[in-house]
Amino acid sequence: MNQLASLLTAMTQDEKVSLLSGEDFWSVGPVTRLGLNRLKVTDGPNGARGSGSLIGGVTSACFPSGIALGASWDTDLVREIGGALAEETKSKGAHMLLAPTVNIHRSVTNGRNFECYSEDPLLSGLLAAAYIDGLQNNGIGATIKHFAGNESEIERTTVSSEIDERTLREIYLLPFEIAVKASKPWGLMTSYNRLNGIFTSDHQWLITTVLRGEWKYDGIVMSDWFGSHSTVESVNAGLDLEMPGPTRDRGQKLLSAVLAGHVSQQTLDDRASAMLNLIVRTGLHQPSLEPNERADDRPEHRALIRRAGAESAVLLKNTGILPLNRERKIAVIGPNARTAQIMGGGSAQLDAHYRISPWDGLVSALGEEHLGYATGCTNHRFEPVLRGPFEIEFFSNDTFSGEPTHVETMMDARAFWIGRIADDKIDALSFSARMKGLYTAELDGEHRVGIYSAGLSKVYLDGQLVSDAWTNWKKGRTFFEEGCDESIGLVQLEAGRQYEVMIEFKTKPYASIGLSGLACGISKPLGDEDIQHAVGVAASADAVVLCVGRNGEWDTEGSDLASIELPGRQNDLIDAISSVNPNTIVVLQTGGPVEMPWIDKVGAVLQAWYPGQEAGNSIADVLIGLREPGGRLPQTFPMRWADNPTHSQDLEIYPGLGGRVRYEEGVFVGYRHYDRHDITPLYPFGFGLGYTTFAVADLEVDDERFERDGVVVVRTTVQNTGNRAGGTVVQLYVGQSHASVSRPPKELKAFRKVTATPNESVALEFNLDPRSFAYFSTAEEKWVVDCGTFTISVGQSSIDLPLSYELTRKSIIEIPLT
């Protein structure tokens, strides 16, 4: 008997069932009798946060977000990052990282696009495979997520994504299929939503037929947090692990279901075996000391993150002002200049070891004496958090009665409570709390005081109620849709005067995800005079680095964007600054595209995403030319939101209506859509400038085997035609004309990131298999390579494809599913 079988045989029914749900928020309990240790998981994906709540806790290395890695188009780099993340995960005493996220950029407004790689399934799948290899080759399990159809944050815990099978197979399941087959992840997380009416955690076809049956997946399947809804259906569908714990639908309920014959003994054993297999893979059956969580700020991680930030930065426009001339006087302006935007919001967030802002990076690169500064305007979604200290008293009732159960100090007016809190004394879902602190106004005038909470809350200043998220509390788009929208109160304050702040909070029943939290902020809004001041600073400089964009309040799990306009008065600021100084370099930090009405007025645009803790250093390295802008767009940047396939008067198409979101555009997502409708994007998929130029040439296609077995070998060269060393991404697309089903004009089928010195030529070879030419036939339930004419095109973006070659086939190839 092998090790797994003998462990299973030795287990009692209770022990088997205990492996199928979390014990607490982040772990599955040990089976001490058999020497099986606790299994611990952690988020994921741009770092390993550890087991605290989303805020505070032991610090971690913060790596570039998913979309930045998508922009790197660099599987080697992503594999290396996976390796570093394995070290980070170990430093948090965990065995699995809840990553990578491979949902597709369907709508430009999806709040979680920053965490996902791309609008293209092949790019997403290959990067995910590299990431998983990096983790697992170093002993840490990956958990690819969220399977499947979670492309929006609106009502994500209940909505049904209505996606036809061909679209699923060709677009939304494909990144999972590629990564599962290439890298065998140890874990996979189902999504919150329903897929065609059925919760994905109950979805037999998805989990058992496709994932395990066709793709031969041999890892565990876990639910998203509070994303499983049944006992019998989920276990029978193939969902091994209900997370988090303590269990809601398993434990005794599952034991009874087995006794009643609703779940067979074989099924229970299969689920327990999957968990045991994971335990063996992660080494948990060996004696281990439970390590404490520690911050492990390593120089090699710092260097890797700094390099990766530059490798993912996409230079969208350059009239020649970049790289910056170091001798000149530079004005650094904008809301993102001195605030380091290093990551998006939600479960991917962590407490980073440190955060380098663009200002910090430019000061180190150029010296402060060459720089001027102005903020110009703000771009926050919520009022900036009130800094403490605050003393907080917790009561184990919801009426602030009796003596507090626990008292502690918080450093700011922001909290995220899960599981048991305050040294285990309080249930995060049932308590009241009172926070007290002081605020000294810096300016005279009207201030905005904001509060939002998952739970009920009120803010008082000097005993006066100023902001109320209690009386008319209504579900909004904060705290994963468990919180209300921000409630704002206006107050006149005097500069230099100290005010007493008191916040009252009490929990309320949760809707889908068991958590509580609040955030309270204050500011005096910036106005015309602040833009004018920035214009003055810009006018007296040789060039301007204008740092604009969004932040993790906008690009976040739990809510989508209402538009892709730059928030606040940032468009006005760019317009005003570029009117007085055409040498304006816009450094954009967002989790996706924005409309750029000012594009013709500025000298350069660098899209820097959320690149991790070294943000400002990576950005400065690119601006001064120490490194190439190595990124290419993993998502089309449309001219306007209205050009996106999901923009529709029909709310069922987006963001969903009556519990349904219809993926009406089918396979025409991203560039497949813009190509089909001949819509010129602002910047196409795959696009990005370097500081040198490249040309592709010498296309050679070996199609000898094409008719027989659908295999084609493509050779080409790429030459550095400029005068400095640099890199590019060579992209290969395939399209079929006159297909028997409606197909995208072209689809990415291979790519390679290359670097070369001036004049150097690099020879490339791409091997295409039949799937590179196939569509999914729902009539045949097979992949089919049609007869007819196919075009292979090669170049450096989806609209810059100077080389092409036509192939024809006379017969059909059918590729079975298994």
**Residue numbers annotated as active site:** 224
Is residue 46 part of the contact set for ligand BGC (CB under 6 A)? no
Minimal distance, residue 248 CB to ligand BGC, in Å:
15
Minimal distance, residue 435 CB to ligand BGC, in Å:
25
Kindly write down the DSSP assignment for every residue of 673-724, as one continuous string. Answer: HHHHTTPPPSB-TT--B-SS-EEEEEEEEE-TTHHHH--EEEEEEEEE-SSS
Is residue 44 part of the contact set for ligand BGC (CB under 6 A)? yes
Pairing of strands 414-417, 516-523: antiparallel
Burial of 4 (0-12, 13-18, 19+ CB in 10 A): middle
Q: How far apart are CA 347 and CA 352, in angstroms?
A: 14
Minimal distance, residue 480 CB to ligand BGC, in Å:
6
Q: Show the 3-state SS of 149-168.
A: CCCCCCCCCCCEEECCHHHH
Minimal distance, residue 225 CB to ligand BGC, in Å:
4
To 5 degrees, how large is the angle CA 440–CA 443–CA 444?
105
Q: Which is nearer to ligand BGC, 41 or 322 (CB)?
A: 41
Minimal distance, residue 328 CB to ligand BGC, in Å:
45
Q: Which is nearer to ligand BGC, 347 or 357 (CB)?
A: 347
Minimal distance, residue 603 CB to ligand BGC, in Å:
39
Q: How far apart are CA 148 and CA 127, in angstroms?
A: 18
Minimal distance, residue 375 CB to ligand BGC, in Å:
33
Out of 15, 43, 120, 643, the only residue in the binding site for ligand BGC (CB under 6 A) is 43
Closest-by-Cβ residue to ligand BGC is: 347
Q: Which is nearer to ligand BGC, 480 or 609 (CB)?
A: 480
- For residue 628, how many other CB atoms are within 10 A of its CB? 24
- The sign one gets for the Cα dihedral 85, 86, 88, 89 is positive
Is residue 228 part of the contact set for ligand BGC (CB under 6 A)? no
Please give the residues from 389 up to 418 whose contact with ligand BGC meets the rule CB under 6 A.
none
Is residue 241 part of the contact set for ligand BGC (CB under 6 A)? no
Q: Which is nearer to ligand BGC, 415 or 622 (CB)?
A: 415
Pairing of strands 584-589, 487-493: unpaired
Residue closest to 530 by CA, chosen among 595, 576, 489: 576
Q: Which is nearer to ligand BGC, 146 or 743 (CB)?
A: 146
Minimal distance, residue 99 CB to ligand BGC, in Å:
8
Which residues lie across from 683 on neighbouring strands? 637
Minimal distance, residue 143 CB to ligand BGC, in Å:
8
Q: Which is nearer to ligand BGC, 109 or 379 (CB)?
A: 109
Please give the residues from 79 up to 98 whose contact with ligand BGC meets the rule CB under 6 A.
98
Q: How far apart are CA 727 and CA 205, in angstroms?
A: 43
Residue positions counted in the chain: 818
Please give the residues from 136 up to 155 whose contact with ligand BGC meets the rule CB under 6 A.
145
Out of 74, 120, 155, 224, the only residue in the binding site for ligand BGC (CB under 6 A) is 224
> Under rule CB under 6 A, how many of the chain's residues touch ligand BGC?
8
Is residue 225 part of the contact set for ligand BGC (CB under 6 A)? yes
Q: How far apart are CA 127 and CA 145, in angstroms?
A: 14
Give all strands of the β-sheet with 220-222 in edge-to-edge order.
Answer: 27-28, 39-42, 96-97, 141-147, 187-190, 220-222
Please give the residues from 427 up to 486 whose contact with ligand BGC meets the rule CB under 6 A.
480
Please give the residues from 169 up to 208 whose contact with ligand BGC meets the rule CB under 6 A.
none
Q: Are the C-beta atoms of residues 428 and 509 closer than 8 Å to each other?
A: no
Q: Which is nearer to ligand BGC, 101 or 793 (CB)?
A: 101
Taking the CA atoms of the chain, what radius of gyration do you get in angstroms? 27
Minimal distance, residue 24 CB to ligand BGC, in Å:
13
Q: Which is nearer to ligand BGC, 224 or 628 (CB)?
A: 224
Out of 273, 347, 584, 589, the only residue in the binding site for ligand BGC (CB under 6 A) is 347
Q: Are the C-beta atoms of residues 570 and 377 closer than 8 Å to each other?
A: yes
Please give the residues from 764 up to 783 whose contact with ligand BGC meets the rule CB under 6 A.
none
Interior/surface letters 74-99, b for 16+ CB within 10 angstroms, e for the rest: bbebbbbbbbbbbbbbbbbbbbbbbb
12, containing H or E segment? none
Q: How far apart are CA 743 and CA 735, in angstroms?
A: 8
Residue 94-133 contact track with ligand BGC, rule CB under 6 A, x = bound: ----x-----------------------------------
Q: Which is nearer to ligand BGC, 225 or 609 (CB)?
A: 225
3 state DSSP class of 134 = helix
Kindly write down the DSSP assignment for every residue of 34-83, as one continuous string. Answer: GTBPPEEEE--SSS---SS-SSSSS-B--PPPHHHHHHHT-HHHHHHHHH
Q: Which is nearer to ligand BGC, 19 or 98 (CB)?
A: 98
Minimal distance, residue 147 CB to ligand BGC, in Å:
11
User: Which residues does 392 contact at the CB level (< 8 Å), separation at least 6?
Assistant: 407, 408, 409, 410, 415, 433, 434, 435, 436
Residue 720-739 contact track with ligand BGC, rule CB under 6 A, x = bound: --------------------
DSSP 507: -
Pairing of strands 187-190, 220-222: parallel
The owner of tokens 């190595």 is 630
Pairing of strands 426-427, 314-318: unpaired
Q: Which is nearer to ligand BGC, 556 or 796 (CB)?
A: 556
Minimal distance, residue 451 CB to ligand BGC, in Å:
22
E strands in 362-455: 371-374, 387-395, 406-412, 414-417, 420-421, 426-427, 432-440, 445-454
Residue closest to 260 by CA, chosen among 227, 229, 293, 236: 236
Q: Which is nearer to ligand BGC, 334 or 346 (CB)?
A: 346
The contact set with ligand BGC (CB under 6 A) reads: 43-44, 98, 145, 224-225, 347, 480
